[in-house]
Structures are given as structure tokens and as C-alpha cells.
Structure 1
């Protein structure tokens, strides 16, 4: 069972090695990188490439680790008991299975995505240590122990918003997705916008990387944003000539696809103003 990328996803050699190493070691793959570099999409493509079902657990700031195992709805059970509902005799009627439980009881091996784990409370990763390590957990309300029939391929993503505990990191295989270089980005663009004119692509990517390297940017544009930008350029039927900028107009065409806050827009406006003043 080897991951070699897909036609819809450009995976670098080191990323393929990381995925296959995590599978071989039967450890969660922890993937970090800038937002928009394809971390979440990686899990979907691993699922597609290996022909395995996929479960997605998207983490929010309010998500608790227990929700990944199960949730017991005591309120509904109390209400039903007051109404004389016979369902209250079986506590399992009030247990909602979480994504880990679903992955553990699946008939075949699955890919489990735990997306943006760094959004949750700092204790969240530690609360999942035993379950991810032993691939089992106890349900106190029913007294049963849930064990994985097949060990799922667990892919965990993080945008590096907060540090993860050392004990959690020790149990993972780690990979950082570096921002694509120009050549890799060309391959990514070809997947999403096949047949784009070479001159337009070269001019657009040159501008894109110049923008990313501009000092003082609050948010650098990502892979997903350059793909959106190119989609707009193609929709507007713009040419490489149309993208040319001068000192009086430092903002790129359709810059709203690339610059996502007013500070960065003002930065380029100031650069244009300074360029005009130097004439």
C-alpha cells in the first residue's frame, strides 16, 4: 500500500516518503505548513489513491477530544424517561458515535483526517494520546471497550497557530509542507488550469512570488489564492501584457484574490506612492 500522488495532486518526493513512512510505522502523520498549501487535500488524495474510505473531523476552538470518541446525551434520556419512552432502558440509544469510533468500527481500513488540531484547546492533543496509541477506548456508560478492527491511517493537520505537546509529537510522524518553488507551482497550476499560456503563467507567477517576498506583508498569498487569481485572469481573458505594472500602479490586477486584508493593500499603495515621488 504505497502513496505515489494522484493526477489531481502534485506530491513532492519528500511528502510521498512521509505518507508511506507513517503508514508503515502505523503512526499518525502530522502535517504542518502555511494555510492553503494542500494539507487537508492531502488526506483526501491519500484516500483516493489507496482506494480507502475517508472520515473527516474538522476541529474548532470549542471541540473537545471526547467528541471524537462519543457523546452521551443525558438530557434527551432524562426527557424521554419523564415521557415514559421505553428507549431509556438501553443507554446506547443516547450515545452518539464520534469520528474515532466510526473509524475503529469500520469494516475496512479508513483514512481519518483530524483537521487543524491546533485550533483546539492545548489539552486536546494530550486527551487523545492513549486512544491514538492503543487504538481503543472505554465507554463508561455501557461498560464496553471499543477496539479498532483495522488501524486507520490518521492524518493530522496543523497551521502552527500554537505549539503541540511533546508527548503528542513523539507519537506522530512529522512532515512540514514547504511552500512550493516556481517549478513545483507550475506543475500544480497545470493540474488545475491545463493548457494555460506559457507567457501569462510566467508573468503571473513572477508577480506572485514578488508579492510573497515583499517585506511587511501581514499575510502572504498561498497556493490556493494564486490558483484563484489565475482562474480570474483566465476568466477575464487577460494577457501577460495586461499584467504589467509600473511604479504608479503597484497593485496587481484583480488583487483581491491575493491580498486579503487592508494593511497589505495599503502597503502596495504606499509603495506606488513612494515610486511616484522618486520620479
Structure 2
């Protein structure tokens, strides 16, 4: 097993906790995929981008949808195009490789240099999707039936898999991964994240915004508590030139609904909940 000489320590654009840095290091040492879970907006996808950037590696991203099949990550055989070309008398039909479209795993396995492979939101696919990739991710190879060749990774990619916990992943798949749950940032870490995005932001504005933000997240029965990315959007609005500088300072903290709440609250049930809380407070 090769010894890794470079380690991920975070970047200027990404604040990584010590436990996350250790998880990346452990997954690489074990040569296993790093399975990352956490609330939406906690930087799971961005982690792969920053690992690639900090280590100077190419990033290959496979975005998973509900209709995605594991085979698409390996390759796809376009039999329809071959049939059409045969009817037209095209000489391309005599070489089946002309109709093989490499997928993201093929691209990662055959990369001339080591790369980072991101399998993003794996839980969106069918429940059998992870199991269908067990061998390929474990052995870093797969067989192409149409051509009779085996594609094997010369440079084992760093594999990072994200999940939003929309559905449970199979035990056999979990056994082959190193798991890390990204905890929601505490106030100190959140201040660091804000500073990365807004180096010149007012300390007073940050304090006022975080007070409202974390108070909002503590409200029971909120369907979707605001995430880090939504806080960044909200701060961008609060700092806009056409917004009053004292918009938060003049906000009545007894009211449950904050100014410009549309950046933080994303569904009508939560808006109605906040309105009821505001009404009860006024009473």
C-alpha cells in the first residue's frame, strides 16, 4: 500500500475541522471511498472540490439523479447509433469501440494522473445502485463485455461519495467505505466560514446575523432549518448597497420572522410556523 505524502489541511476557501481532515487522511490510508453525510449545505460536495484543489489533482464529478444507473458510470453502448450507421453503410460499424461511451469511472480509472472522483448524492439513485458498484469501487476495475477488455485503474483515484440520507445505503456498501458525518458548524467555525466569504464584513453585522440564524435553527418542528449556504446568501443580501445598514439592528428580536427571510426559509410550512410564533409572542 502506497504511503501518502500529501495531506488535506483545508484551503483558503474551505474551513475543514480536525475530524474532517483526519477522515480524509484515514480514507486515503485505507484506500477506501470516503462516504460523507451531513445536512444539505454543510459543504459535502465542496469538500471534493477543495481536496482536489489542495492536492493539485483533477476532479471528476458524477452527479447522481433518480434515473441514474450504475452502468452509466462505467460505459454505455449505443446500439441504436450502430444500427443506424449500418443501414447507412457507414464503415464505423465494423469497430464496436466507436459506439462505446466511457463513463465517469472509466474516465477516472484511465486518467494519466491520479484524480479525485466525486460521486455526488448517491442516495438519490435506486436502492440497488450502490451494490451495483461494489466490485468496481473495491477492485478498481471492470469488464467491457462488448470489446472483451478490462479497464483497471493505473492510478487509484481518491473517491469521495456524498449522501443526504434520503434513503439508507446497503450494509455491504457501507463496509467498503470510510464514513464521516459533517457536523453542523458551531458559532466559532461559522465565523471562520463567513470570514472566508466576506473578509471585510462588519463584526457587528456578523454577531447580529448569527444570533438570529442560530435562534431560527433552534425552533422546534422547523421542516428545513437554514443551512450554511443559505446564511451566506442572506448575508450577501444584508450587505447589498440598496439595503439599510441597520436592517438587523432595527429588527424586533421578539418577532420570529427575520428580515429578508426568503433567503433562509424555503417552504410555506416553515413561514406559517414562524408567523404563528410571532402571533403568539405578540399576544
TM-score normalized with structure 1 length: 0.97
Alignment partner of 1:254 is 2:260: yes
Q: Which residue of 1 aligns with 2:3?
A: none
Distance across 1 between alignment mates of 2:135 and 2:23? 23
Distance across 2 between alignment mates of 1:164 and 1:111? 22
Matches within 5 A, 1:106-255: 106-235=111-240, 236-239=243-246, 241-242=248-249, 244-247=251-254, 249-255=255-261
Deviation track 1:215-257 (CA, whole Å, cap 9, x = no partner) reads: 120101000000100110001253375353244x431000000
Deviation track 1:41-76 (CA, whole Å, cap 9, x = no partner) reads: 000000000000010000000000000000000000
Distance across 2 between alignment mates of 1:65 and 1:246? 50
**Greater CA drift, 261-270 or 60-69:** 261-270
In the alignment of these two chains, the number of paired residues is: 276
Match of 1:209, SS? helix
Any conservation in 1 of the 2:68–2:125 contact (CA below 8 Å)? yes
Any conservation in 1 of the 2:74–2:102 contact (CA below 8 Å)? yes
Deviation track 1:98-157 (CA, whole Å, cap 9, x = no partner) reads: 000000000000000000000000000000000000000000000000000100000000
Matches within 5 A, 1:44-123: 44-123=49-128
Any conservation in 1 of the 2:131–2:172 contact (CA below 8 Å)? yes
Any conservation in 1 of the 2:248–2:259 contact (CA below 8 Å)? no
Deviation track 1:22-58 (CA, whole Å, cap 9, x = no partner) reads: 1111110000000000000000000000000010000
Give the direction of change, closer, same or farther, for the CA distance of 1:243–1:223 in structure 2 (3 Å limit).
Answer: farther
1:80 shift after superposition: 0.4
Match of 2:265, SS? coil
Q: Which residue of 1 aligns with 2:22?
A: 17
Q: Which residue of 2 aligns with 1:269?
A: 275
Give the direction of change, closer, same or farther, for the CA distance of 1:73–1:186 in structure 2 (3 Å limit).
Answer: same
Stretches of structure 2 lacking an aligned partner (at least 5 in a row) = 1-5
Distance across 2 between alignment mates of 1:3 and 1:21? 11
State the 4+ residue runs in structure 1 displaced beyond 4 angstroms.
none
